[in-house]
């Protein structure tokens, strides 16, 4: 597995060439994903999106009740899902399992392409974190949003349509393999290595 990009680097993630459909069998990875920590996990990666097509790889970020990840484009980008086009509070912060990422992309230096801000070793499944559940990342507190975080054409273009089919299948949806939307209810600075725990 290759090393992660250096901290604070800004990376252009424009899709110029789509990943092939390699028809991989992801079944062997499900045992590892399902063994994710349920009560106490770890923050493994931090990504900020200054624009929709750029990523910053960071070692710490500030989580804010107003901005989500401070410096991220969530607030200014807005959303087509709100009546006035303003940012959708239910997709303020997104989390994704590093165990799922390792399955769809063995090269860790490409994990930031998924676009999720908090990369975690934690069970994000509906069973473990029902809608409305609160959890901590370090000293920050977040609440699980009702809006599902589903795979899209960009995810398929970066990781392959076989990966998209896996995460959007019944097991993937129940396990939130594509990730989870959340909203900050108590802000704090969070750092790689911080503990995740249910409130």
Q: What is the CATH number of the domain that holds 140?
A: 2.40.33.20
Span 35-51, mean pLDDT? 96
**In the prediction, which pLDDT does 16 show?**
60
Q: Position of tokens 């459909």?
A: 21
Name the pLDDT band for 85 (thresholds 50, 70, 90): confident
**In the prediction, which pLDDT does 79 show?**
78
Instruction: Provide the 8-state DSSP code for 5.
Output: P
pLDDT higher than threshold 70 for residue 196: yes
Mean of per-residue pLDDT scores for the chain? 90
Domain count, the chain: 1
Pairing of the two strands 60-64 and 195-198: unpaired
Span 185-197, mean pLDDT? 98
In a domain, 125, yes or no: yes
Question: For the chain, how are helix, strand and coil distributed in percent, rounded to 5?
Answer: 25, 30, 45
pLDDT higher than threshold 90 for residue 82: no
Secondary structure of residue 95 in the 3-state scheme: strand
Structural domain span for residue 156: 9-13+23-198
**In the prediction, which pLDDT does 23 show?**
85
In a domain, 2, yes or no: no
pLDDT higher than threshold 70 for residue 5: no
Span 143-154, mean pLDDT? 88
Torsion angle (degrees, nearest 10) of CA 103, 108, 112, 113: -60
**In the prediction, which pLDDT does 4 show?**
45
In a domain, 1, yes or no: no
Name the pLDDT band for 8 (thresholds 50, 70, 90): low
In a domain, 144, yes or no: yes
In a domain, 4, yes or no: no
Tokens at residue 7, please? 């901290």
Name the pLDDT band for 165 (thresholds 50, 70, 90): very high
Q: How far is residue 24 from each of residues 9, 37, 161, 173, measured CA to CA in Å?
A: 31, 25, 10, 18
pLDDT digits (tens, 9 = 90+) for 99-140: 999 999 999 999 999 989 999 999 999 999 999 999 999 999
In a domain, 172, yes or no: yes
In a domain, 18, yes or no: no
In a domain, 3, yes or no: no
**In the prediction, which pLDDT does 20 show?**
73
**Range 9-17 contact pairs with CB under 8 angstroms and sequence separation of 24 or more:** 9/56, 9/57, 10/50, 10/54, 10/55, 10/56, 11/54, 11/55, 11/56, 11/57, 11/112, 12/53, 12/54, 13/53, 13/54, 13/55, 13/112, 13/113, 13/115, 13/158, 14/53, 15/154, 15/157, 15/158
Closest to 11 (Cα-Cα) out of 49, 41, 45: 49
Span 72-87, mean pLDDT? 81
CA-based end-to-end distance of the chain: 34
Q: Which residues contact 78 (CB under 8 A, 6 or more apart)?
A: 85, 86, 87
């Amino acid at each position: 597995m290759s090393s992660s990009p250096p901290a604070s680097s800004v990376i252009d993630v424009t899709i110029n060439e789509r990943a092939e459909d390699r028809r991989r069998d992801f079944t062997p990875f499900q045992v590892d994903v399902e063994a994710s920590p349920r009560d106490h996990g770890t923050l493994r990666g931090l990504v900020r999106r200054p624009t929709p097509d750029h990523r910053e790889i960071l070692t710490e970020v500030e989580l804010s009740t107003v901005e989500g990840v401070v410096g991220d484009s969530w607030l200014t980008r807005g959303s087509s899902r709100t009546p006035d086009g303003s940012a959708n509070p239910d997709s303020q912060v997104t989390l994704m399992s590093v165990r799922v990422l390792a399955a769809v992309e063995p090269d860790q230096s490409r994990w930031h392409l998924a676009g999720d801000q908090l990369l975690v070793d934690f069970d994000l499944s509906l069973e473990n974190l029902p809608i409305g559940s609160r959890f901590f990342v370090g000293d920050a507190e977040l609440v699980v949003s009702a809006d599902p975080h589903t795979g899209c054409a960009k995810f398929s273009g970066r990781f392959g349509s076989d990966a998209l089919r896996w995460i959007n299948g019944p097991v993937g949806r129940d396990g939130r393999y594509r990730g989870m939307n959340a909203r900050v209810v108590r802000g704090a600075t969070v750092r790689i290595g911080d503990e995740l725990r249910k409130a």
